[in-house]
Chains A and B, each alone.
Chain A
């Protein structure tokens, strides 16, 4: 019980501070427009009335937390999930390309890592390119990928997933190179004394030793995949997905919608990271990991 309280109290405290600060900021941001409105209407509200109004504008510069929460709640729980206004629907669209891209990215990252660890030539030649690939701003690359693929007739899920792949293979490749090289020298010597083949050393020693590294890097990769999928939706003029929702929101100054979509994106990201973490825990437990 005490442990729960020790964990919950700090989190709640920080949350409360954020919410209060957010409200103050919302009042501050929305006040000029509200003052304008009031002046034109010839109204002179009291301070409390004025604050109330700044927090209930339909298209505020900065929506208040309760506006976002209400919008998020309505569009998540009260709409049919097939409706184009449902955040569940948009999240699902983004999630599916995230997962596809993440799967590709993880597979590609592992493949690259295996190559780097086993082929000296690849170790020298590939790593600089991989690092260079990540220094290119994705926002610049994403439209090109989308346009090029569209030109050859590939649209929809795949281009978005490829951007996710592009962002997610890197942490997995780096993590797995580290993981596959993580066995103790003594364990490697041991395999050497058994005259174990390279593939036996790989499967019986390097792979199991790399599992914790794999899951740690997959946590980073899955979050990056989601960012990739959202970024991939921006230049496509996609009609569905969290990215499309953000874009539409910004066209029509639907700030509350944008923030609600942002919250939906964060929720999906958090769920994905937690899910990868749980799977990682289960796998490590089944490999005899010491319970923490």
Chain B
């Protein structure tokens, strides 16, 4: 018994590490030749962190999340999730994924969309109901249970898709520009809610965004990437407190971090030119 526990811990470099990437690289073979989407990515994401990925379009942010989610296979290097391979982690249902689009099933009501992953993992009906209600409450969608996706605005649909990922209740949440298509006000509101949720649940969140303020506002760490091939050019630790009211975005500390991110992005660009 003790042996197996030791072995299990031995394979893991860091007990706290949720995602560990070592010299990770991915090359897509396309008709116009190989495309290097990721190259030499070294990154450790610890439990309870909120990590944002920011970088110009095509720098491999989505690809990295998809590698974690076992939706793409790396061609170089290693990656482990909770000490397991991405495939094992997926089979253990270790993460929830929020896609850039809401990706709701049009033939399901909001509540049954949120309940979809719960049906799949085979939860008892009563617990399904309870989780659906709780997560819809969390994203302010109570009262819309019986509506179909087309009856909701884009922002509401995106919130429903977040509720769906939350209902799944994995400790790791992968979010690919979940608020990209939303207006500023709704986005602010969802940012606040997401932050509150993260504080309450101590989940680990990987969050892709194009917005510097969003990245700085949400994250404990910001990973700046640059394209062709997709690399990590800078990792910025946030010095902001865990408790963050929206107006923290006017504080000098916030602006200083934002400036660093912007410099990092610019450096990545000038490397190209």
Tier of interface size on chain B: 20 to 34
Binary interface profile of B, 225-255, with partner A (CB < 8 Å = 1, else 0)?
Answer: 0000000000000000000000000000000
Binary interface profile of A, 28-61, with partner B (CB < 8 Å = 1, else 0)?
Answer: 0000000000000000000000000000000000
Binary interface profile of B, 168-200, with partner A (CB < 8 Å = 1, else 0)?
Answer: 100000000000000000000000000000000
> Is B155 located at the chain interface by the 8 A CB criterion?
no
Answer whether A192 and B168 are a contact pair too, CB < 8 Å, given A208-B105, A290-B150.
no
Answer whether A193 and B150 are a contact pair too, CB < 8 Å, given A187-B105, A204-B119, A288-B107.
no
CB-CB under 8 A from B47, the residues of chain A are none
> Is B91 located at the chain interface by the 8 A CB criterion?
yes
> Is B69 located at the chain interface by the 8 A CB criterion?
yes
> Is B262 located at the chain interface by the 8 A CB criterion?
no
CB-CB under 8 A from B95, the residues of chain A are 193
CB-CB under 8 A from B96, the residues of chain A are 193
Within 8 A of B (CB), among A193-252: 193-196, 200, 204-205, 208-209, 211
Asked whether, in the complex, the Cβ of B108 is within 8 Å of the Cβ of A186, the reply is: no
Q: Of B99, B109, B119, which is within 8 A of A189 by CB?
A: B99
> Is B71 located at the chain interface by the 8 A CB criterion?
yes
CB distance from B230 to the nearest CB of A (A): 20
Asked whether, in the complex, the Cβ of B97 is within 8 Å of the Cβ of A195, the reply is: no
Within 8 A of B (CB), among A176-200: 184, 186-187, 189-196, 200
CB distance from B76 to the nearest CB of A (A): 23
Asked whether, in the complex, the Cβ of B97 is within 8 Å of the Cβ of A190, the reply is: yes
Asked whether, in the complex, the Cβ of A195 is within 8 Å of the Cβ of B90, the reply is: yes
A287 to B149, CA, bound (A): 12
Smallest CB gap from A288: residue in B: B148
Asked whether, in the complex, the Cβ of B120 is within 8 Å of the Cβ of A205, the reply is: no
Binary interface profile of A, 244-266, with partner B (CB < 8 Å = 1, else 0)?
Answer: 00000000000000000000000
CB distance from B112 to the nearest CB of A (A): 9
CB-CB under 8 A from B121, the residues of chain A are 194
Q: DSSP class of A's interface residues: helix, strand, loop or mixed?
A: helix
CB-CB under 8 A from B107, the residues of chain A are 208-209, 211, 287-289
Within 8 A of A (CB), among B84-127: 90-91, 93, 95-97, 99, 101, 103, 105-109, 116-117, 119-121
CB distance from A283 to the nearest CB of B (A): 10
Asked whether, in the complex, the Cβ of B109 is within 8 Å of the Cβ of A204, the reply is: no
A192 to B90, CA, bound (A): 8
CB-CB under 8 A from A196, the residues of chain B are 120
A7 to B17, CA, bound (A): 67
Query: Which chain A residues have a beta carbon within 8 Å of chain B's beta carbons?
Result: 184, 186-187, 189-196, 200, 204-205, 208-209, 211, 287-290
Pairs A–B under 8 Å by Cβ, sample size 10:
A184-B103, A186-B103, A189-B71, A191-B120, A194-B117, A194-B120, A208-B105, A288-B108, A288-B109, A288-B150
The 4 closest A-B pairs by CB, nearest first: A288-B148, A287-B107, A193-B97, A186-B103
